[in-house]
Structure 1
């Protein structure tokens, strides 16, 4: 018998094979669906153990062995750099490493039982199955010598089983296994320290080996696995570290949600017999409201019968109320409530609420924790009293700083840095009385506004800002209007195929995605789109409908365009109404000069012409950008135009879903692809910077863009809505033609930074560079939403790796984001990774137990993964929550299969 391939130790061949793992080569390529077979394979092996007379399933043996090796490798990656992990990462790695280890133990025990049953079955086919198994362990493509040690105990169990059989084939097989075990022993002796460190913590099945090239082996594994990916597969994503004050519990108001240059002044520890009223007088002088958080022991006491008895300082609090301020609960005795037991905490809250009710009635329903020391448990205790906790993000330190001028400097410095928020003072110190006027002088001079607290929300003048809301920038438009024109049926020009469909698709996008009111989107198609009707709509109808200065207007035209050379030699572009002929352009078509006149006559702040037609002949200018973009943009006039191409270019009608190439790409841009700086807003410039190279990459068109004369640099802005869809079987994905076109565009744009300057055409045929503006810094919750939205976009295009990364990013930013958790689970599900999918559906349910679709998804993942009891429970829960839901018939059908 020739020596076992293990004894040859083919180091070079194994190394080269392992390098191919990431490319999908070899038996252990770990393609996305690798985990899928484990559940069903284990069931098949379990069935064989129960009935060894059935035909052995070689594929089931291979699938379970593949999962054993996958788990073995993951454990090595988790602990190879354990000393370099952050404490939170190390804790999660230890927990999940143990879970993977015990899963592997179950698989190895099952393999032992199945191999023993196979040998004992006496079936003639058993020899072929065992030969294939040993050949793969000995020389399988993609296996490194260290990998083979994962099956040392499997070979030992097989040796024992074969030793019971005295037939000649069994004797030969026994000798072969002994040679393999001897070779593994030689390898094992070289691995002692490293693998003992990894596996020694887990008990008897740890493998004790060492190899001189261990670092090379681990480096290859890291090319396939990462700690972050392993944790994610097992339902764990470590959130980004939170900067103090940057994140806000929904039950604790920090002031980060106030608009820029807006403050709320708060005062703790009163009432005080002297300083509270002096502070109130100062606030009255400046017209500034305040919130006073009061200690119950300063207001009075609770008698033996549990009734409030007001003390001598209660009239001070009543005077504060009469002066327009609000009173909040600051506990009874200023105890350290985060460490108090539930009973003591509730007593502190209840007693002060009773005294405040005697002073002010129902009141502000606010609570401030002494020392700001809240905890999840103490925050939960407030709910029984219908109270909201209010923290602060600007601390005067007036309780510690005895120098008024130092307090002034500190507060102003922090305000300059924060630009908004809740300021903490104390109305029990004279130094606060001295510092407050100096602070208010400066803040009033700099234009700061001062919020009050009314009916559970911040109030600034007449505007109400809900508590907990983030200061999200907005486009600032009063109303949105659109004129949408599409012409296919030209009597005197070549007929177009997709113009009307393009116009209708854009109308739906404006209404359904960007919340344009349906009666504000005015449409003309085919025979309606005469010259007189188009000009009448733009000149007169918009004005009659009440268009105002802070509105925006989008004009979309899909149809023919043409260019006429004037006697001066200058080109003049035209859009072609349905009743215009090629021979009478000057009188029947609409020249670009008329479009310019229309643009100047429309009273809206921003007007954007999007022309899915090709022509040339209008000079454009560019306005300068601004770092404080949205604020500046709100006051600048904007008149912009984007066209599909230049003179002598044909509009390409061969786009997906019955659209032109230009309009398809426009719709994709508005779906989020044109948000080049990732801030949730798409400017006309960003749209052009995305469309121009994208359209040019798949057609002979060269879109042109610029600002019309008279524009003051203002930008038309689309604000992307937050996606709320929980991925499910009902979620639509793009058809093959759309995927193919998008992939072609993506390949052309690959390697180009989205925010890099883009060179595009002007309507005169020249070139200009467009640079998308700087991104607006988003709060973590808004950034998480944007990441989730990108994940949905990637999912619709079947870019599952990108979708997985985007949903994971959303969960790093917002660990309680049930929407992203479900969606991450569904990405795993679509790749047939049912165990991973189930973990994330369970996470979504923990975050939001009322979300019925997550139970339906969980049921499906468990059903297909072979976890039938869990699947039944999930489907039953779905039907309890949504007995008439869209998936109810499907759930009932599944339940009938158990």
Structure 2
């Protein structure tokens, strides 16, 4: 499991394999200090997601870039510190995942309610000062500079067949459990930001009796381990992952749980991790002779749209390849930007030092294990 206390500085080597641009903060609380506990699956969820993310055979994240906070480690100050450290170490071209498994709570009067993230040290007698409000969480996420940020919320767990709608403690205090729909929307605000929640606001996130993981995380883990890469591209992509989860959960628990996806301003189906360590399926449509025989410019365009969905400015790919961004026109989507940029390049524009070979070479340096790039 990834170290939850120490951060090792990582110098990104763009020639290395794996997914060095991936960062994650994973939080799980089952055994609260003063509030009713949750199934052990909550902790397993974090441990297993961390293992999938850091496995070179699955997602390829650098282990030092994946931080876990479990039970006693997941205090309010520690979670806020973890988010602050994540904002410090993740750069604009990185990919960030934040995962929370534990209690969610609802505070306030009807019509003026707010959702809170319940940390291990939360006290129902002083819940507003001992939990993390949706505004605090949203502000912490806003400080993360990465252009690709995905938040997972697996809260309000139902162990076995049912769960109380209220959180309780030994002093007689109680709090309505759950997460509000408008909170999901709030946490997904911003360009390149998305959220996946385990269930709708009026549902519970189920854990089968004796199961190692919650229903949601069972589907998430299968997706991260490659099942969501249905095209065999070598990448787990955000839309593909949610599509897989939303298809799988009804198979596990029909009609009772529906995952939620929220996104405010996504330009494309961006990758969040490697699939099977970046190995592309030999049966992938992208490996068929038709694609191999495709015009190299068209093939490169398809690959660049996939790997750099925000366009030539993404990860400074154009500049690093010797291009001049000032020679390119602005376009509202990454796909349109790539189409126009490559047309300009084909006609001899885009900068004095950039050409097909330098652009391809730079992309190969970033994704040295990408089979389609190798074919070019």
Q: Tell me the TM-score normalized by structure 2.
A: 0.57
Q: Is 1:608 paired with 2:150?
A: yes
Aligned to 1:595: 137
1:776-811 deviations in whole A, cap 9, x for unaligned? 951349x99xxxxxxxxxxxxxxxxxxxxxxxxxxx
Tell me the residue number matched to 1:674: 228
Aligned match of 1:154: none
Which deviations, in whole Å up to 9, do the C-alpha atoms of 1:184-224 show, x marking residues without a partner?
xxxxxxxxxxxxxxxxxxxxxxxxxxxxxxxxxxxxxxxxx
1:702 aligns to what? 258
Distance (whole Å) between structure 1 residues aligned to residue 209 and residue 149 of structure 2: 27
How far has the Cα of 1:500 moved from its partner?
1.1
Secondary structure of 2:206's counterpart equals coil
In 1, Cα distance between equivalents of 2:278 and 2:211: 22
TM-aligned CA distance change 1:561 to 1:662, over 3 Å: same
- Cα distance, 1:529–1:688 mapped onto 2, change above 3 Å: same
Find the counterpart in structure 2 of residue 494 from structure 1. Answer: 36
Is residue 696–residue 703 contact of structure 1 (8 Å, CA) maintained in 2?
A: no
Match of 2:86 among 542, 547, 551: 542
User: 1:505: how far off?
Assistant: 0.4
1:720 maps to 2:275: yes
- Deviation per residue, 1:106-129 (Å, 9 max, x gap): xxxxxxxxxxxxxxxxxxxxxxxx
Tell me what 1:533 maps to: 78
Query: C-alpha separation between the residues in 2 aligned to 1:661 and 1:521?
Result: 23
Deviation at 1:572, TM superposition (A): 2.4
Residues 504-563 of structure 1: CA distance to partner in whole angstroms, max 9, x if unpaired? 100000000211111111111101100111011102x2244x321111111111111123
**Correspondence for 1:159:** none
CA distance in 1, matches of 2:141, 2:98: 10
Q: Which has the bigger relative contact order, CA under 8 A and spacing at least 6?
A: 2
SS of the equivalent of 1:778 reads helix
Residue 523 in 1 paired to residue 68 in 2? yes
Alignment of 1:95-494 (within 5 A): 479-494=21-36
- Out of 221, 240, 264, the residue aligned to residue 686 of structure 1 is 240
Tell me the C-alpha RMSD between the 2 structures: 3.5
Q: Give the match's secondary structure for 1:652.
A: strand
Which whole-Å CA distance do the structure 1 matches of 2:112 and 2:231 have between them?
38
Q: How much does 1:495 deviate?
A: 1.3
Unaligned runs of 5+ in 1: 1-462, 465-473, 624-635, 725-775, 785-898
Q: Distance in 2 between matches of 1:676 and 1:582?
A: 45
Instruction: Identify which of 188, 195, 206 aligns with 1:652.
Output: 206
- State the Cα distance separating 1:589 from its structure 2 match: 1.8
Question: Structure 1 CA distance, aligned partners of 2:277 and 2:86?
Answer: 30
Structure 1 residues 536, 573: CA separation in 2 closer, same or farther (over 3 Å shift)?
same
Which residue of structure 2 lines up, in the alignment, with residue 507 of structure 1?
50
Q: CA deviation at 1:704?
A: 1.1
**Contact kept in structure 2, 1:608 and 1:716, CA below 8 Å:** no
Partner-residue secondary structure (3-state), 2:198: strand
Q: Distance in 2 between matches of 1:592 and 1:640?
A: 15
CA deviation after TM superposition for structure 1 residue 721, in Å: 2.6
Note if 1:640 corresponds to 2:194: yes
- Secondary structure at 2:267 match in 1: coil
Structure 2 CA distance for aligned equivalents of residues 688 and 656 of structure 1? 26
Quick one: distance in 2 between partners of 1:566 and 1:713? 37
In structure 2, what is the equivalent of residue 778 of structure 1? 286
Specify the alignment match of 1:89 in structure 2: none
Matched, 1:564 2:107: yes
Normalized per residue, the structure richer in helix is 1
CA–CA separation in structure 2 for the residues paired with 1:701 and 1:564: 23
The aligned residue for residue 554 of structure 1 is: 97
- The answer to whether the Cα contact below 8 Å between 2:25 and 2:86 also exists between their aligned partners in 1 is no
The 1:716/1:780 distance shift into structure 2, 3 A limit, reads closer
Aligned pairs, number: 244
TM alignment of 1:34-53, pairs within 5 A: none
Q: Which residue of 2 aligns with 1:27?
A: none
Deviation string 1:71-96 (CA, Å, 9 cap, x unpaired) is xxxxxxxxxxxxxxxxxxxxxxxxxx
Aligned to 2:120: 578
The 5 Å alignment of 1:860-871 reads: none
* Conserved? CA contact 2:27–2:69, under 8 Å: yes
Distance (Å, rounded) in 2 between the aligned partners of 1:704 and 1:538: 23
Shift in Å, 1:580: 1.1
SS of aligned partner of 2:149: strand
8 Å contact kept, 2:234–2:278: no
TM-score norm. by structure 1 comes to: 0.25
Q: CA 1:721–1:672 in structure 2 vs 1: closer, same or farther (change >3 Å)?
A: closer
Aligned to 1:229: none
CA displacement at 1:722 relative to structure 2: 5.4
Structure with greater proportional strand content: 2
Look up the SS of the partner of 1:620 in the other structure: helix
Unaligned stretches of 5+ in structure 2? 1-13, 157-178, 293-376
Distance 1:552 1:723 in 2: 16
TM-aligned CA distance change 1:480 to 1:722, over 3 Å: closer
Distance 1:678 1:583, change over 3 A: farther
Compute the displacement of 1:637 (Å): 4.0
